[in-house]
Amino acid sequence: MRSDKEIVQQIEEIEQQLKQLRIDLNERKRSNSKRKLKVGDSVIILNPNPNQEKEGIVSKINTFRVTVKTSHGNISRAPKNLTLK
């Protein structure tokens, strides 16, 4: 059987590991959160019209619209309809 000291020490080690995992998880959440688009980002268009490209590169960002340059021309979409590639 383990002594009380060993059990307490093991609990403290587990608490330290749990604390580290929480820190790692919070860092992941921050990095995976939807970051703002930047000019030059490669994006996927979530709602392309028929015969429109599904991918492109951000060329211009306005307050409510983002212009994406594709091989067939420019497409303007709301940022919520674009996702990073």
List residues bridging with 55 in a β-sheet: 44
Among residues 49, 29, 17, 34, the alpha carbon closest in space to that of 79 is found at: 34
The tens-digit pLDDT sequence of the chain (85 residues) is: 778 899 999 999 999 999 888 888 877 766 554 668 899 999 999 999 999 999 999 999 998 999 999 999 999 999 999 998 8
Contacts of 21 (CB under 8 A, 6+ apart): none
What pLDDT score does 26 carry?
Answer: 77
Q: Is 69 helix (H, G, I), strand (E, B) or coil?
A: strand
